[in-house]
Structure 1
């Protein structure tokens, strides 16, 4: 019998637009079953990469988010240690991990780069599921119009969006599970 898919909703906080020249400051994942059961979470605040620096526009945005900034700069870990722990956590999940992000292109780029750089492998392989693209397909809307304010209110459970990685990973994971339940092709 094939192992079930585990939907790993992941959010990152960074100091710039791409990994390498900029750092992933914090990341978190919330692992969900298709039944919306939260199976576990993982989060880490990371030390910045040697030689990397904050992008001016990203740092200007962070200046408007002092609580989120403080949250992602406490208890920093060496990325080499944190990414090995993360890979091990993913491999212990009771199914095949599927990366879920919003926007997946941004979050996955950082997580994948850090996994390859610090562990040599990605349990997600080379793929990620993007919530906005999934919503576009479900709603039959143009991509640029597929934004949270145009999504059904029933998909949202009131979880906060605080720019603290774990809060945001849980929020978007619950959103994805609501979308999955709304899809007539995936209902039990």
Structure 2
């Protein structure tokens, strides 16, 4: 029998739009079963890359978020040690990890780059599932019209969106699981397909 999928909702906080010239400051992952059970979490604050620097526009935004900035700069880890530990955590999950992000294009870009550079491989392979795109398919809306304001309130749990990576990963993972449950075309056999 195939291993079930584990949906790894992941949020990244960074000091610029791309990795390399800029750094991933913090990331958090919340691993959910298809049935919506939160089975494990992982988070780390990272030291900045040696030759990277903060993007001016991104750093101006961070200046408006002092609590989140302080949270992502506390207890910094070496990126190599953190990413090796993260890869080990992913490998030990009770199923095949599927990266889930909102927006996946941004969060996956950083996580994939850091995993390849510092841990040598990505347990996610080359793919990520984007929550907004999934919502677009469920709602039958255009992509740009698919915003959280237009999503059913029943999809949202009472969880914080604080710009602290793990908080946001848990919140968006709960949203994704509610969307999975609302999909009338999804099998109800525990997520196996």
Q: Same fold (TM over 0.5)?
A: yes
RMSD over aligned CA atoms reads 0.5
Specify the alignment match of 1:107 in structure 2: 107
CA-to-partner distance for each residue in 1:117-167, whole Å, 9 max, x for gaps? 001100000000000000000000000010100000000011110000000
Report the Cα distance in structure 1 between the residues aligned to 2:167 and 2:67, rounded to whole angstroms: 13
* Residue aligning to 1:120: 120
Q: Secondary structure at the match of 1:144?
A: coil
Aligned length: 188
Structure 1 ranges of 4+ moved more than 3 A: none
CA distance in 2, matches of 1:140, 1:68: 35
| Partner deviation per Cα, 1:84-140 (whole Å, 9 max, x = no partner) | 000000000010000000000000000000000001100000000000000000000
**Is residue 42 of structure 1 aligned with residue 42 of structure 2?**
yes
Aligned to 1:129: 129
Give the 5 Å matches for 1:35-74.
Answer: 35-74=35-74
Structure 2 regions of 5+ residues with no counterpart? Answer: 189-193
> Residue 185 of structure 1: CA displacement?
1.6
Counterpart of 1:122 in 2: which secondary structure? coil
Q: What TM-score does the superposition give when structure 1 sets the normalisation length?
A: 0.99
Q: What TM-score does the superposition give when structure 2 sets the normalisation length?
A: 0.97
Q: Could you tell me how far apart the structure 1 residues matched to 2:63 and 2:110 are?
A: 22
Which consecutive residues of structure 1, in runs of 5 or more, have no partner in the other structure? Answer: none
Tell me the alpha carbon deviations over residues 3-24 of structure 1, each in whole angstroms, 9 at most, x when there is no partner: 0000000000000000000000
- The answer for the alignment partner of 1:183 in structure 2 is 183
Distance 1:45 1:123 in 2: 20
Q: State whether structure 2 residue 36 is matched by structure 1 residue 75.
A: no
